[in-house]
Amino acid sequence: MDLSIGTEYEAFREEVRSFIRGNLTDDIREAGRLATSVFAEPSRAIAWQKILHKQGWAAPHWPEQYGGTGWDIVQRSIFSEECLKANAPPLIPMSLLMCGPCIIGYGTDEQKAEYLPRILSGEDFWCQGYSEPGAGSDLASLQTFAESDGDDYVVNGTKIWTTYAQYSNKMFCLVRTSREGKPQQGITFLLLDMDTPGITVEPIIGIDQVHEQNTVFFDNVRVPKANRIGKENDGWTVAKYLLMFERGGQEYAPSLYFQLANIKKLAEGVIVGGETLWDNGFFKRKYCEIEIEISGLAFTENRIKSALGNGQNPGPEASMTKILGTEISQRVTELAIEAVGEYGVPLQVDAIEPGSSIDGVGPKEAMAIMPKYLNTRATSIYGGSNEVQRGIIAKAVLGL
Amino acid sequence: MDFSLSEEQQMLKDSAAKWVKKECQFEQRRKIMHTKEGYSDAQWKQFAELGWLCVPFSEQYGGIGGSMVDVMVLLEELGKGLMVEPWLSTVILGGRLVELQGSEQQKQEILPSLCEGGIKMALAYNEIGARQQVENIAMTGELSGDDYVLNGKKTVVLSAEAADQLLVVARTSGKPGDSAGLTVFVVDPSQQGVTLSGYPTMDGYRAADIEFDQVRVPPSAILGQTHTAYESLEQVLMEAIITVGADAVGTMELLYQTTVEYSKTRKQFGTPIGKFQVLQHRMVDMFMHYEQSKSVLLMAVLHYVEGFDEVNKSISGLKVQIGKAGRKIGQEAVQLHGGMGMTDELDVGYYFKRLTCIDALFGNVDHHLSKYAEMV
Ligand SMILES: Cc1cc2nc3c(=O)[nH]c(=O)nc-3n(C[C@H](O)[C@H](O)[C@H](O)COP(=O)(O)OP(=O)(O)OC[C@H]3O[C@@H](n4cnc5c(N)ncnc54)[C@H](O)[C@@H]3O)c2cc1C
Ligand SMILES: Cc1cc2nc3c(=O)[nH]c(=O)nc-3n(C[C@H](O)[C@H](O)[C@H](O)COP(=O)(O)OP(=O)(O)OC[C@H]3O[C@@H](n4cnc5c(N)ncnc54)[C@H](O)[C@@H]3O)c2cc1C
């Protein structure tokens, strides 16, 4: 057993740091600082991705032959840590974290050549069309139907909760191609262009008054069969592979440490009756409890990493880190709203738009706190709700 | 011991419940929230006609001589309607402060008109760094000739834009941290030197930051006596906590019931999600958190109206209970609604935000736990 990460990484860390220092503009940094969900303001997130791409760093977790960096697990952690510390916005996950790995895993050579470079460069913006009004947790019951018609499918149905469909030119989605057998068996994985005739996108306004999600309607939408990933009726295999990445592909602890440290700064600045909030025992106790939980998660994540080695597929352990990561992050945001007190109350979505010239109410660093708290409630709902994740662990790990 | 409602209280409850059913359809509420005023004047008139503005005032000032028990009964129902009218600011924070602190003449001038829906008020007390603690107020009211000159900034003043009169708390002697030396001034918001910047709140109300720059007011603007407002303010804030406590309890009742109903109709895996035992138990817990909150509210109200020695403790206990239970119930309601709970389309999100904001106002859980800890 060995905890040290070795001095050979110091040079690497310095390289990353100096690159970020030299290339991350204030404008883009602001999008990171003000991000209230895992989805940062898209134009700035893409701008950052393009900068990284020029350096060859847009997708560190991809295999090298497709544009990955070839970094080992420690280097990847160092890279994300430095990005976080610098307030770089998170890259849009749908393209790089979800769609890309799927095409790498199941796409044909032609598909890889066509899509992967455009994902890396940020030219294509992907959205995820899985959920439907009647198919949320029970994803396999999805009903959007793709009728075979010569070289094409003709798609009809409705997708819902599609994050950032309004910015996307591409969608990867699950459609039904057969109603025979088990519901999982009749599903196919398709890629499509959002400007195909017959697609309509309608906004869903969120609890924080921000427009992230959409409903997408399909009315006789023609999609070439060449856009299918994997075999017909075998989309569930692809989808499950992707969901595993969605759940376990990310490390939660580094970002949680970072968010918690920001709360400390916030609390040190809040003076109530001559005493800082940081000196308040009730507050500090919660802070410490959360920090201990994060340290546990950090080592759980390290254990998983160390067991899996490089590039392997995370198993049901992914469910555990998803539950812990999201629930701890919810507690972090709870502590944050407690720190800002009544400054959480004003509704000021416009003031937290990156680049906004609106002054807003209360200290600048407090403004994004309440929207972030509200938005973070979604993390235990999407990507397979935490109830569903607990169900997976009960079955797959505990054998119940 | 008898916790049953009197005939009048039952009528008050029924009329409020009926009004909420009829006038507070969510779609309509949401539209009202997004208007510039943020509430409906027509509905405010109905409040006056229904006698809801005069509940806590004594009869000689146009009130019905009700108590905080009556306020509780009314607000539990109005809470279910996601009230956005300036009731709390006008009746409790404004009117009750006038009744407790004002001179006889001021009470006669203000309260009967307030009860009829004529005057709306807001209490400008909180400041940056004061964290809603009255004794931390730093804004100054300095004697200059016969007049007073007000200088300072107030923040997150509830329903300030709706107010015809602002009650402004300033320091006429002493320094921040002292409970003595605080004076309340009745200020016309359109007066020179008063700059009001309004904004919507997360939960559908409106609030404002207000700047006072060399605002000159005559001695007649002083509510009652100089330097002595602390105790009245503390008492009014207790009543405010009871008010938001009742609002919160009504909101919690509605949220757990809405969630139970939703779980009966939303189907996944071929069955209503309410059949999953994990979700059943979570809803049972929501229900129990609501019941506990209702009990603590009742305790605090009765301790308050009966002048119980340890009433401060009970009021802090109430704020802690509704803060914790409100968070739990709000979060669970969202979680059990899945994606729908995260949208602006369902009322669930608004109730969740209301409960979240209630905790942030008048001292949050930790604040009142600290206070409570000093009293045990
Ligand atoms: C902010 C946000 C972004 C999203 N982005 C996308 C996107 O880009 N693309 C996309 O396809 N989808 C997206 N989703 C949809 C998301 O994946 C679904 O919301 C999720 O799968 C839950 O489905 P549902 O909302 O229909 O809730 P339901 O499935 O109706 O669940 C309601 C409640 O019942 C519980 N429940 C359901 N089944 C069980 C069970 N068997 N046992 C115990 N409890 C159960 C759930 O945990 C939940 O608490 C997004 C959702 C949100 C909130
Ligand atoms: C100190 C003590 C004194 C007792 N005294 C008496 C006595 O005087 N007379 C007498 O007759 N009995 C007595 N009992 C027995 C007691 O009533 C049983 O222990 C009890 O009914 C639970 O049954 P069990 O122990 O078989 O556990 P089980 O029924 O096997 O339960 C095991 C676990 O499963 C859970 N569980 C079971 N069914 C469900 C379900 N449908 N949904 C969710 N969870 C479930 C339980 O909650 C428990 O956690 C006593 C027990 C104790 C511990």
Supply the pLDDT for residue B337: 98
Tell me where in chain B the CATH 1.20.140.10 domain(s) lie.
231-375
> Is the Cβ pair B131, A341 closer than 8 Å?
yes
The domain B231-375: what is its CATH number?
1.20.140.10
Whether residue A381 and residue B126 make contact (CB cut-off 8 A), yes or no, is no
Tell me: domain B122-227, CATH 2.40.110.10, correct? Answer: yes
Contacts of A370 in chain B (CB under 8 A): 202, 356
Pairing mode of beta strands A170-176, A199-205:
unpaired
Angle at A394 between CA A392 and CA A400, to 5 degrees: 125
For residue B93, what are the CA distances in angstroms to A271, A361, B96?
25, 22, 6
| Distance from C-alpha of A135 to C-alpha of A186, rounded to nearest angstrom | 15
CA B211 to chain centre: 22
Asked if B344 and A206 come within 8 Å (Cβ–Cβ), the reply is yes
**Ligand 1 touching residue A168 (CB < 6 A):** no
A387 Cβ closer than 6 Å to some ligand 1 atom: yes
Q: Which among A154, A136, A147, A20 is positioned nearest to A87, based on CA atoms? A: A20
**Chain centroid to CA B141:** 26
B357–A contact, CB cutoff 8 A:
yes
Q: From CA A10, how far away is CA A293, in angstroms rounded? A: 27
Query: Residue B280 class from Cβ within 10 Å (0-12 exposed, 13-18 middle, 19+ buried)?
Result: middle
Residue B177 near chain A (CB below 8 Å): yes
CA dist A326 → A356, B331, B348 (Å): 29, 14, 21
**pLDDT at position A275:** 84
Q: Would you call A6 exposed, middle or buried from its count of C-beta atoms within 10 A (0-12, 13-18, 19+)?
A: exposed
- Residue-range domains of chain A with CATH: 7-91 (1.10.540.10), 126-234 (2.40.110.10), 251-396 (1.20.140.10)
| CATH 1.10.540.10 location in chain B | 7-119
- Mean pLDDT for chain A? 91
> What is the pLDDT, as a whole number, of residue A247?
53
* pLDDT score, position A246: 58
User: What tens digit of pLDDT does each residue of A6-26 get?
Assistant: 788 999 999 999 999 999 999
CB burial of residue A2 (10 Å; 0-12, 13-18, 19+): exposed
Nearest by CB: A138 against B200, B209, B269: B269
With a 6 Å cutoff on the Cβ, whether A131 touches ligand 1 is yes
CA of B43 to the centre of ligand 1 (A): 38
Measuring from atom 51 of ligand 1, which residue has the nearest CA? Answer: A382
* Ligand 1 and B187: CB distance under 6 A: no
The pLDDT, as a whole number, for residue A360 is 83
Specify the pLDDT at position A205: 96
Residue A317 is predicted with a pLDDT of 78
Could you give the C-alpha distances from B321 to A373, B246, B327, in angstroms and in order?
20, 12, 10
Question: Considering only A131-140, A157-166, B124-133, B220-229, which range has the smallest mean pLDDT?
Answer: B124-133
| Contact assessment for residue A236 and residue A253, using Cβ atoms and an 8 Å cutoff | no
Range(s) of chain B covered by CATH 2.40.110.10: 122-227
Ligand 2 center to A387 CA (angstroms): 26
Q: Work out the widest C-alpha separation in chain B, in whole angstroms.
A: 79
Sign of the alpha-carbon torsion through B277, B280, B285, B291: negative
What are B160-187's pLDDT values in tens digits? 999 999 999 999 999 999 999 999 999 9
B158 lines ligand 1 (CB under 6 A): no
Q: How many helices (H) and strands (E) does chain A have?
A: 13, 10
- Residues B196-201 have a mean pLDDT of 94
Q: What's the CA gap between B172 and B191, in Å, rounded?
A: 20
Rounded mean pLDDT, B51-76: 97
A90 Cα to the center of ligand 1, angstroms:
23
pLDDT category, B232, cuts 50, 70, 90?
very high
**Dist. CA B49–CA A38, nearest whole Å:** 49
Q: What is the rounded distance in angstroms from the CA atom of residue B271 to the CA atom of residue B8?
A: 45
DSSP structure string for B246-305: HHHHHHHHHHHHHHHHHHHH-EETTEEGGGSHHHHHHHHHHHHHHHHHHHHHHHHHHHHH
Give me the half-sphere count of Cα atoms (radius 13 Å) on the Cβ side of residue B24.
19
Give distance in angstroms: CA of A160 to centre of ligand 1. 10
Alpha-carbon distance of B323 to B364, in angstroms, equals 7
Can you say how many angstroms the Cα of residue B254 is from the centroid of all Cα atoms in its chain? 18
Q: Which of B6-10, B25-29, B94-98, B196-200 has the lowest mean pLDDT?
A: B25-29
For chain A, which ranges sit under pLDDT 70?
Answer: 1-2, 5, 244-249, 308-314
State the alpha helices, DSSP H only, in A186-280. 235-248, 253-269
CA A58 – CA A328 distance, rounded (Å) = 27
How large a percentage of chain B has pLDDT more than 90? 93
How many residues make up chain B in this entry? 376
The reported pLDDT for the residue numbered B130 is 85
CB spacing of B268 vs A137 below 8 angstroms: yes
- 3-class SS string, A128-148: EECCECCECCCHHHCCCEEEE
Mean pLDDT score of chain B, rounded to an integer? 96
Q: Which CATH class is domain B7-119?
A: mainly alpha
What CA–CA distance (Å, rounded) separates B215 from A162? 53
The angle, 0 to 180 degrees and rounded to 10, between the axes of the packed helices A369-376 and B347-360 is 130
Q: Which two tokens stand for residue B31?
A: 């539209």
Are A117 and A67 a contacting pair, CB within 8 Å?
yes
Q: Going by CA atoms, what residue is nearest to atom 38 of ligand 1?
A: A137
Q: Do B352 and A207 count as a contact with CB atoms less than 8 A apart?
A: yes
pLDDT tens digits, one per residue of B269-324: 999 999 999 999 999 999 999 999 999 999 999 999 999 999 999 999 999 999 99
